Amino acid sequence: MTTETPTPAITTTKLSVAHKAVGPRTWVAGVAANLVTGVLGILFLIPLLWVVFAAFDADAGLKLEWPGSDLSLDNFRAVLTPETTYRPMWNGLVLCVGSTAIAIVVATLAAYPLSRFETRYKRPFLLTILFSTGLPITAIMVPVYGLFVQLNLVDTISGTVAFMATTALPMSIFLMKNFMDGVPLTLEEAAWTDGATSMQTLRHIVLPLMWPGMSVVMIFTFIGMWGNFFIPFILLLSPDRLPASVSIFTFFGQYGSVQWGQLAAYSILYTLPVVLLYVLLSRRLGGAFNFGGALKG
C-alpha cells in the first residue's frame, strides 16, 4: 500500500506570498530601473565612441561621426613618434611602476600592525589617514616645491617617484588594512606556535591569502598615478622627462589649434597600460576570499 506524502501547508503559503509579491508595481519599478541604467550607459558610451571614431578619422572634429570612407591610421602614424608617445609612455611607466611598488610595500608594512595589534594610537592614526585622503594636492604643492628646491630634487625622476608614492600611501594603507582584516588571525597563531616570526607569517601566510586584495590596491594605485597630471607637471621641468599624462596637454595648444584625431588616437594608446594591467590581474579579482578551508581541521 502506497501512502502519498502530503505537501506541507507552509510551502504552499510561501509560494502564494512570493507570487503575490511580484505584482505590477514591482514590474514597473524593474522596467524603470533598467531604462534609467540604459540611458546612463548610453551617456557614458557616447564619449568613448567619439574617441574611437575620431582616432580613425583624418578630419575628425568635436562632432560624433562615423569615419566612413575616410577610415585610416594616419592619426596613429602621426603620434607614434619618440617625442610624442614612446618616451612619454616610458617615463610614465617608470614613474607609476616605481611609485606603485613603493606604495604597496610601505602600505603592507604599515597595515600589518594596524590590523593585528591593538594600541591606543591606532584610532588617531587611522583618523589621520582618513583625513589625508581628503587633503587636496594643490594645498601642499607650494611647501613641497620649496622643499624640493632646498634638497635639489626638482626635475628628478627619483624625487617625483618618492612624492607620488607618498601621496598614494593614505588610501593604500586604508585599503590594505581592510583586506588584511579578512585574513583569520587563527592561521598566524598556529604559525607562531611553530616558532614563526611576525614577518615570516606576513610573508608566507597573510600575503598569499590577501593577494586578490593586493591586486585591487595595486590597480587602484597605478591608475591614480597614471592619470596624475599635477605632480609631474610641477616637479619635472625637462621635456624629455615628462610622462604621457603631461605630454597629452600639448595637443590642446600646439600650432594654435587642436588636432582632435591625433588627440583621440593618443588617448587610446594612453589607456592601453591600464587596460593591460587590469587584464593581467583580472583572474585575481574574480572571487571573494576563501578562508573557510584553511580553518578546517
* 12: exposed, middle or buried (Cβ count in 10 Å: 0-12, 13-18, 19+): exposed
**Across 104-113, average pLDDT:** 90
pTM of the model as a whole: 0.76
pLDDT at 96 over 90: yes
**Across 219-246, average pLDDT:** 90
pLDDT, greater one: 286 or 194? 194
pLDDT at position 263: 85
pLDDT at position 286: 56
Distances, alpha carbon 202 to alpha carbons 7, 112, 121, 171, 208, in Å: 55, 8, 22, 20, 9
pLDDT at position 1: 47
Which of 36-50, 57-71, 91-105 has the weakest average pLDDT?
57-71
Distances, alpha carbon 179 to alpha carbons 182, 206, 213, in Å: 6, 10, 6
pLDDT at 150 over 60: yes
pLDDT at 18 over 50: no
Distance CA 135, CA 166 (A): 13
Distance CA 6, CA 24 (A): 33
Percent of the chain having pLDDT more than 90? 18
Residues 6+ apart with CB under 8 A from 181: 115
Give me the chain's average pLDDT, please: 80
Give φ, ψ of 88 to 5 degrees. -60, -40
**Across 209-236, average pLDDT:** 88
pLDDT at position 67: 63
pLDDT at 89 over 90: yes
pLDDT, greater one: 17 or 224? 224
Residues 6+ apart with CB under 8 A from 218: 100, 104, 277, 281
Residues 6+ apart with CB under 8 A from 239: none
Domains along the sequence of the chain with CATH = 30-71 (no CATH), 79-286 (1.10.3720.10)
Give the single-character DSSP code of 108.
H
pLDDT at 283 over 90: no
Confidence of residue 261 (pLDDT cuts 50, 70, 90): confident
**Across 153-180, average pLDDT:** 90
The model's pLDDT over 52-81, given as tens digits with 9 standing for 90+, comes to 888 887 777 777 666 666 677 888 888 888
Which DSSP string do the residues of 83-107 spell out, in sequence order?
Answer: IIIIHHHHHHHHHHHHHHHHHHHHH
Give φ, ψ of 257 to 5 degrees. -145, 165
pLDDT at 184 over 80: yes
Closest listed residue to residue 99, CA positions, set 180, 160, 44 = 160
Residues 6+ apart with CB under 8 A from 90: none
Which of 1-10, 94-103, 252-261 has the weakest average pLDDT?
1-10
**Across 113-134, average pLDDT:** 80
Distance CA 179, CA 220 (A): 14
pLDDT at position 100: 94
Task: Count the residues in the chain.
Answer: 297
Percent of the chain having pLDDT more than 70? 82
